[in-house]
Structure 1
Amino acid sequence: MLLDFHATFNLHRDVMPWILAQGAPVSENTERSSRTLRIVNVEQDGSVLYTWKGTGGFTSIGSYDPHFVQNKLLYSFDQDLYIISCSVNCEKTLLALSYCRSPGENKFEPIWPVSRYLALLIEIQPINNVRVLKVVDSSMKVQFLYPTEEMCRFPESHLLVVSEERYIEQYHICVATEEEGKVVIKNSGQLPKDRITEDFVWAQWDASEQRLFYIVPKRSSCVLHCVQFYPEDHYKNVFEVPLEIILSDQVISFVNLGIDVLEERGRSKVKSPNLQVFTNNMGGLCLIYVQPSQVAHEVNYMVVFLHKGCSKTFKVQTAMEHSTPLKNASFINLDSYIVVYLPDQFLHLINTRHPDLMCYHLFLAGDDARIPGMCCDCPLQSVLKSCVLEYCTGILYSVRINQSQLVKLLSLTRLDADKLAILHCVLLNLNYQPHLETQLIEWICENLSTCQSFDPIQEFITASLYRKFSSEAVYLDKLLPYTSVPLWNEDIDGVSCTTDITDMPVVKVGILKGFWEKFHSELEYMKVAQLRFRYANYIHRRDWCKLINEVDTKEKRNGVYQRSVLENVKKVLLNMETWSSDQRTVPLYQEEEYQHKELMGLMVIKLKDHLSQYLHIGKSKIDKIVLDYVSRQLDIVCLILEVVWRKFNMESCVFNFSGRGSSTEYFAFHVMCRISEAASKMCMPLPPGFHTLQLVLGVRCLPLGNFLHCIDSGVLHLTENFVVKLLKELDDDGHNEKIKYSIIIRLPEAIIEKVHHLWDHAISNKVIGMKYVKQQLCNLKKKEFTRQPVLNRSPLYMNFLPLNYLIMMLSEVEETALNPFEDDNIDATFLEEIALKQTAIALRLQRR
């Protein structure tokens, strides 16, 4: 099961035994109470308000406190009433409710009064006074405001009254505390009130953040408004935005404002629109609406991403029999995802942070989409974030994504779109679960060749870094990359999707904080999104090589720049978690790999410059973000290697040249090659010691020709530590001498000058001679000298004029030098012998 449903509250489990313990006759009370027991509201603090009808026509209202796990009777009427809505203030001293009398249950009053809907305000600490707020002909909803901060507890409470006569009012109730803790209402006469709005057709209460959304019809479309209530006894109209939807004005629809069963009230049976608004912690705000479909057994639902200025309309063909009617779709808010669930048909996880590419939305059908134990005939109502209510059963569920099930599903799916969607879903919700992270890395390493449309290593590194750092500062999530997939053209099987541009909300509030600050940053980003100022972490190999060459030449000439680069490298390595851990099994050592050391420092400078352009925070904060980002990038690579080493119990003994590599070592070498390839495309440095370990595994696992081809093609990068290890540990038999020679001739000049003395071979003598000539010619001043016959000729003397001229010139330099044998104890005669021998080897007249 992809979603975990945990029953945090169950009417029949948590309330029914308490009702039966009140002392009423068991047989009769059990049947009636069980039949009439139902939930009417869930408050911001998780308190559940419920009502039931006992013997003698009594109607009671109770409250369940989830923190203390106890029930409390709030109020009881001595008559048979149908409670429409009720709410209790945060101090639990006032109860507001609206009700009507049910003609079907009250046989003693066949003639109804003109106005049968009432809204009451009751003092419940202790039960003292009942005040009538309204007596009207239309149904009403009541909801107390809860302060989002620890303030305004007393002396005032605020109550919303939402009427089907299409207006919303806010009442201000002053209370006073008398002796013995008695709380009474101070207002005498009419309570002061504000008119919030009127002429709306749909309203939704967001209990978590104390927000009210409502829709007002306007000509051929609708306008969505939002009102934010604050603890300081005021409210603000935050934004409004036109919607390309049309809602019927025949019925007023409410969301999260109490139960709304039209059939029980004897009202019109016009179906209410299935529409709801959701927010997430990153400033995302979405509206989802199930549209009426003209095609039988086709479900159409539109998701308007208000923070992105776009909408997506999904059309899903169901597998229902033609005679079976479709059930209502349910929505679940999981912060970064909105779940659209149609029982026995499909389950769709819609990514609200990154909705642009279809591969980020996970669509499941058939058995994968089933949620066992749920009532298929009753839609779920998302009352709080990650919390849904099943009205027909009276069960409140907390919902979360089952990460273990996602990882298992990852191993079963075959489509790249599903793999990428699952990968993002796991990483986005993966917090402090190292065992699942290990399973995910194992799957990535085993499926590197099965993903044709994306590189799983790149996606794992990029998405992991985005999850960790996107919330470090406001606007940072717009500047860091979240994927390595720039485009996606594949569709989801069984689902068609169209994307449209929508109007951006008009924010009416000047000073923003909390969620609205993040929401405003999303809107501002979308206004300048054409600039595309995300940090680029994906380049081609040609550009990578060009960057390396620039680092090797031009940038090194600037001493200040070079010192800055080296200082950044030192900070990054000290900040890595890998080097501070005593449980490392991978034989990585901090060594000098000059190219990646330079690239590491260069990346710190480039990323710091990039963030400084757009983040308006302190320099020290930016420096810390950049340092942590680059360090974590290297730690992720080390983590992948650690998982491979531990899975196959690979010991550090593989870090030598004795013996041939096993199948597990070849697997590790393959993974390292794919990591190196991903890093080159992402312009990303690798941790110190990575290339040396990769080269050692390459020597153990590959034939010499393949190994040299990997070096020539840039797959493997020669390092000084590897060459030193190779020259010291391998003896000079025929095969090993061939390996050494093949490596030496491929070394960059910077390395070969440091290691040539470790191998007593003709190739080393050649290097010594070249170094000697270069140094002498650089020190040679322009002067005239007389050609003199060279008396001591070597036995290999050949009459070759260029060589003779060079030897004569070097001999004269030696004669004037204070110590002619200070450079590796060679002289012109030795150099002549080396040159003649190398020439004979080049002409294949002599073997090496």
Structure 2
Amino acid sequence: MALRLIADFDLEKDVLPWLRVQQAASAAAGARGGGPGVLENNYECLRVLNVEQNRNIIYTYKDNKGNVFFGLYDYQTKQNEHLYTFEKDLQVVSCSVNREKTLLATSLVQAAKEGRSNELQPGSKCLTLLVEIHPINNVKVLKAVDSYIWVQFLYPHVESRPQPENHLLLLSEEKYIEQFHIQVVQEDGNRVVIKNSGHLPRERIAEDFVWAQWDMSEQRLYYIDLKKSRSVLKCIQFYADEHFNLMFEAPLDISLSDSGFKLVNFGYSDLQDQEELSEHLTLCVFTNHTGSLCVCYCPNFDSWEQITYSVFYFHKGHSKTFTTTLGSVDSRVTKGITFLNLDYYVAVYLPGHFFHLLNIQHPDLICHSLFLTENSEVIDMLPHSPLQSLSGSLVLDSCSGKLYRAFLNQSYLLEFLWNSRLDCERMALLHCVLSCGRDPRRLEAKIIQWISENISACHSFDLIQEFIIASSYWSIYPETSNMDKLLPYSSLLTWDTEIPGITLVTEEIPLPLMKVHSFKGYWEKLNSNLEYVKYSKPHLHYNNSVVRREWHSLISEEKTGKRRSTVYVRNILDNAIKVISNLEAKNLEPRLTPLFQEEDNHQQLLIGLMVSELRDHLLRHLQGVEKKKIEQMVLDYVSKLLDLICQILEASWRKHNLHPWALHFNRQASAAEFAVFHIMTRILEATNTLFLPLPPGFHTLHVILGVRCLPLHNLLHYIDHGVLLLTEAAVTRLMKDLDNTEKNEKLKFSIIVRLPPLTGQKICRLWDHPVSSNIISRNHVKRLLQNYNKQPWSSVMDKSSFSVEFLPLNYFIHILTDIESSNPALYAFEGHDNVDAKFVEEAALKHTAMLLGL
């Protein structure tokens, strides 16, 4: 299934065997006269009570007499231990233990039996107790009230030494939150007791709240209070010492005034009253390490025909409300919708009906989120029991007593990618798989294989473009959380196609108001995201527009021979050399394709310019990051772009089993070479649109395959429209390897006349043919006559020096001879190769004879 759940803890496997051993030992001790067994075998009521910040799990069960047993499973040691036993018939509302496992806080209510009063505290409904359990010594009553109380110890982020003071949160059904400060001292060795237990300092944290959520991992308390019937989300951050801060206030456009009272992640009670409380709205807050802040909200269902839920992306400044049609409703419908935090995604599902993966890093385009309906088999593979999302990737199934680590199932998503038929699903799955980040080389190979089979399947976006941009982005994204603002993560700017079965409404929302001025860690990243939403419009995503202009400028200068400073060009080419060296250092496997084997000056200029512009872009906008680190990030990013292109080409080469002889001109082109030529053309189309560099040697290989695969008129059409770019290396191969048959002569001439003048002059000297000689002669004559001043006519000509009676040619050669004899410096230019008037005369006669068929 798309969601992979790996069990970290299972009551039945991790606790029950130990309890049975304990019960057997107790029974044996009783048989030997050591006293009766404390616990009897009644494990049906065994259940999880709470999961603490260090992942220690508190559980409970009752014996046949109603005695309440508290146990703890240590996540680090995988060992169980007994915490405490109440020899009363009670029901547990809430429970928590401190980090040192010396204090146990719990709220209890009397078991519901007619004619039986509360034996612990007459006149009260709920009793909140603080118990010394190291060793078991004393019980202190914190609250004895008629409303339910929930308890939670704070866990400071320091574990080096026992804490002299513990902090305990109490949340009351009467809608207030208090914090108790409990000092402990050691007596008689390791005996820990509460200091001044008669008077424990306490303070009021919040009042008049209607909803609260505990983040055990980050020690944060989220709660909502009502101000003039307006819902305001607040967050309190607790620190290692006793102080805490109200971090932000955020207005929510939802109505909670008549929704009762709801707690999230404050233990797991099975009281009937609590079940009634939990049937109201579903609302939870999710964050991750990148500074995202999402509030997921689903109101009470008016009907089961369709379900509406909203996600407030506070780190992006907008909310999205999704409406999905359920279709048929059957008995498998559970109590309500489930939200799960999966790092870069939020999973939203109703077992048996739908499963949605919402992209919270890039929620702007709906196609970056995956929407699966009841037509997909993935729906039936999800757990049907309610799941509770804890901090990080932890998920608790309180019904089965299992604690899971939740992941996106990369293998399943890849398989689903192969079978998907909708562009929106392909887009979402591609990004989803890449974000998983495990074994990227293998993952990229799998995606490339899929692309090669579906190269023309997508109509809404270019598969190669999207893969190159997205994979390059995810390869460097972990370096800094601000990359999503500075680098493109998709080739698309908009998406207008509807998602089947989904209606979406997007609205701007007020940003949270930060209440502190000094930020660290997550809060610094969240504040950075909020500042970006406020002030950074339009988006700061890098694009190659500047590179495009500069590259065309350099190429134009090259054609006119007016190249700017050689130092500037040298620096650009040095950037390219660094990228290629970086790429080759990371790729130790030999390449099948002949890339990076020639000096492709144009592509090296493009590579170097992209490095220069991208480095400047990141230096402008990445504050507080070392210049050396940014430079390495840029090299890695551009190297990744080139490497992905190489991987696509290598995979195609390998798939079609091509060999080096595929590049020889003495064989007929095969179907495999046609396929490789086609994929290269698609790569070229994808990179040209985004103006991305190609590996040096790509154009040469493309031209050679084009000559082998295309008829001459198609080949010339591709060349004239810029699909095939003639490189000096490719044309040199043609001139040397092709013989002078009539067909090849026509091909060579057609290509030579399409070359830039400077390149054409070099190539012509490699072809011993009248056409080549004619072109060389023309260029020589053009050079000689550029500044020629016409001399007075002389009727006297020394005919003895001319062997052919062809007066126009004789006169022309006489003029060239005079110019050459009067200016010997003309022979000093590079590549002259003894071209003179005599050579021009012979070339003209040979070419004339060839044209006349003589």
* TM-score (norm. length: structure 2): 0.92
User: Is 2:302 the counterpart of 1:294?
Assistant: yes
Deviation of residue 194 (structure 1)?
2.7
Q: Which moved more, 1:602-611 or 1:269-278?
A: 269-278
Q: Secondary structure at the match of 1:517?
A: helix
Q: Find 1:564's aligned residue among 565, 571, 574.
A: 571
State which of 319, 324, 342 in structure 2 corresponds to 1:316. Answer: 324
Gap change, CA 1:461 and 1:29, over 3 Å in 2? farther
Counterpart in the other structure of 1:221: 230
In structure 1, the partner of 2:645 is 637
Offset, 1:499: 0.8
For 1:452-531, list aligned pairs within 5 A: 452-531=459-538
The answer to whether residue 838 in structure 2 is matched with residue 829 in structure 1 is yes
Q: Could you report, residue by residue, the CA deviation over 1:449-486 in whole angstroms, capped at 9, with x for unpaired residues?
A: 11111001111111111112223235232010010011
Cα distance change on mapping 1:416 and 1:546 into 2, 3 Å: farther
Match of 2:728 among 720, 728, 750: 720
Is residue 53–residue 60 contact of structure 1 (8 Å, CA) maintained in 2?
yes
Residue of structure 1 equivalent to 2:442: 435
Within 2, Cα distance between the matches of 1:260 and 1:353?
Answer: 34
Matched, 1:22 2:22: yes
Question: What is the aligned partner in structure 2 of residue 147 from structure 1?
Answer: 156
Query: How far apart in 1 are the matches of 2:245 and 2:332?
Result: 46
Which has the higher mean CA deviation after the structures are superposed, 528-537 or 76-85? 528-537
In structure 2, the partner of 1:3 is: 3
The DSSP-based 3-state class of the residue aligned with 1:332 is strand
Answering whether residue 393 of structure 2 is matched by residue 386 of structure 1, we say yes
SS class of match (1:292): coil
User: 1:116 deviation in Å?
Assistant: 2.5
Q: 2:115 and 2:379 mapped to 1: Cα distance?
A: 40
Residue from 587, 598, 604 that aligns with 2:594? 587
Q: Indicate how the Cα distance of structure 1 residues 94 and 547 shifts in structure 2: closer, same or farther if over 3 A, else same.
A: farther
Point out the more displaced range, 94-103 or 19-28.
Answer: 19-28
Please state how far the C-alpha of 1:13 moved relative to its aligned partner: 2.0
Q: Which one of 403, 406, 431 corresponds to residue 396 of structure 1? A: 403
- Relative distance call for 1:550 and 1:579 in structure 2 (3 A) is farther
Q: Does 1:199 align with 2:232?
A: no
Q: Given the alignment, which residue of 249, 260, 263 partners 1:240?
A: 249
Q: Is the 8 A contact 1:51 1:61 kept in 2?
A: yes
1:535-566 alpha-carbon deviations (Å, 9 max, x no partner): 12589999997885478669932333212211
CA distance in 2, matches of 1:403, 1:579: 24
Alignment of 1:119-134 (within 5 A): 119-134=128-143
Is contact 1:221–1:246 with CA below 8 Å preserved after alignment?
yes
314-323 vs 154-163, greater mean Cα deviation: 314-323
In the TM superposition, residue 35 of structure 1 has moved relative to its aligned partner by 2.1
Contact 1:61 1:76 in 2 (8 A): yes
How far, CA to CA, are the matches of 1:104 and 1:373 in structure 2? 41
How far apart are 1:180 and its partner, in Å?
3.6
Q: Does 1:100 align with 2:109?
A: yes
The corresponding residue for 1:745 is: 753
Match in the other structure for 1:681: 689
Q: Which amino acid aligns with 1:272?
A: H
Deviation at 1:147, TM superposition (A): 2.5
Query: Which residue does 2:615 correspond to in 1?
Result: 608
Q: Does 1:67 align with 2:79?
A: no
- 1:406, distance to aligned residue in structure 2 (A): 1.0
Question: Which whole-Å CA distance do the structure 2 matches of 1:798 and 1:106 have between them?
Answer: 136
Which of 766, 769, 775 in structure 1 is aligned with 2:777?
769
Give, in whole Å, the separation in 1 of the partners of 2:734 and 2:163. 79
Residues 756-803 of structure 1, C-alpha deviations (whole Å, 9 max, x = no match) = 22210123213432443355457x6979788563535655664549x9
Asked if 1:357 corresponds to 2:345, the answer is: no
Q: Does 1:817 align with 2:824?
A: yes
Deviation at 1:749, TM superposition (A): 2.6
SS at match of 1:658: coil
**Any idea what the Cα deviations from partners look like across 1:602-627, whole Å, max 9, x if unmatched?**
11122122222212233323222222
Aligned to 2:705: 697
Q: Of 241, 247, 266, which aligns to 1:257?
A: 266
Asked if 1:271 corresponds to 2:279, the answer is: yes
- AA at the equivalent of 1:42: V
- Residue identity (%): 45
Amino acid at match of 1:17: P
What is the TM-score of this pair, normalised by structure 1? 0.92
Does the C-alpha gap of structure 1 residues 29 and 656 become closer, same or farther in structure 2, counting only changes over 3 Å?
Answer: farther
Deviates more, 1:787-796 or 1:457-466: 787-796
Between 1:624-633 and 1:362-371, the stretch displaced more is 362-371
Counterpart position of 2:678: 670
Structure 2 residue matching 1:654: 3-state secondary structure: helix
Q: Secondary structure at the match of 1:71?
A: strand
Alpha-carbon spacing, 1:243–1:46, altered in 2? closer, same or farther (3 Å): same
CA separation of 1:555 and 1:431: change in aligned 2, threshold 3 A: farther
Task: List alignment gaps of at least 5 residues for structure 1.
Answer: none
Alpha-carbon distance between aligned partners in 1 of 2:826 and 2:280, rounded to the nearest angstrom: 101
SS of equivalent to 1:64? strand
Task: Tell me by how many angstroms 1:134 deviates.
Answer: 1.8
Which is further off, 86-95 or 17-26?
17-26
Q: In 1, are the aligned partners of 2:817 and 2:837 still within 8 Å (CA)?
A: yes
Amino acid in structure 1 at the alignment position of 2:368: Y
C-alpha deviation, 1:66, in angstroms: 2.7
For residues 434 and 598 of structure 1, what CA distance do their matches in structure 2 show? 28
Bigger Cα displacement from structure 2, 177-186 vs 687-696: 177-186
Q: Distance in 1 between matches of 2:39 and 2:163?
A: 40
* Alignment root-mean-square deviation, CA: 3.1
Please name the residue that 1:304 is paired with: 312
Deviates more, 1:385-394 or 1:499-508: 385-394
For residues 820 and 727 of structure 2, what CA distance do their matches in structure 1 show?
36
Residue type matched to 1:184 in 2?
V
SS, match of residue 368 in structure 1: coil
Q: 1:509 to 1:547 in 2, by over 3 A?
A: farther
Distance (Å, rounded) in 2 between the aligned partners of 1:214 and 1:554: 70
Q: Structure 2: give runs of 5+ residues left out of the alignment.
A: 29-36
Q: Which residue of 1 aligns with 2:33?
A: none
How far residue 295 of structure 1 moved from its aligned partner, in angstroms, is 4.1
Displacement of 1:444: 0.9
Distance 1:445 1:539 in 2: 32
Report which stretch shifted further, 364-373 or 475-484: 364-373
Q: Which amino acid aligns with 2:14?
A: D
> Which is further off, 231-240 or 829-838?
829-838
Shift in Å at residue 206 of structure 1? 0.8
Secondary structure, aligned partner of 2:163: coil
Q: Which amino acid aligns with 2:8?
A: T
Alignment match, 1:650: 658
Q: Which moved more, 1:149-158 or 1:27-36?
A: 27-36
- Superposed displacement of residue 493, structure 1: 0.7
Q: CA separation in 1, counterparts of 2:223 and 2:18?
A: 38
Q: Distance in 2 between matches of 1:790 and 1:315?
A: 98
Distance in 2 between the 1:574 and 1:542 partners?
Answer: 26
1:530 deviation in Å? 2.2
Kindly report which structure 2 residues correspond to 1:33-72, keeping only aligned pairs within 5 A, or say none. Answer: 33-72=42-81
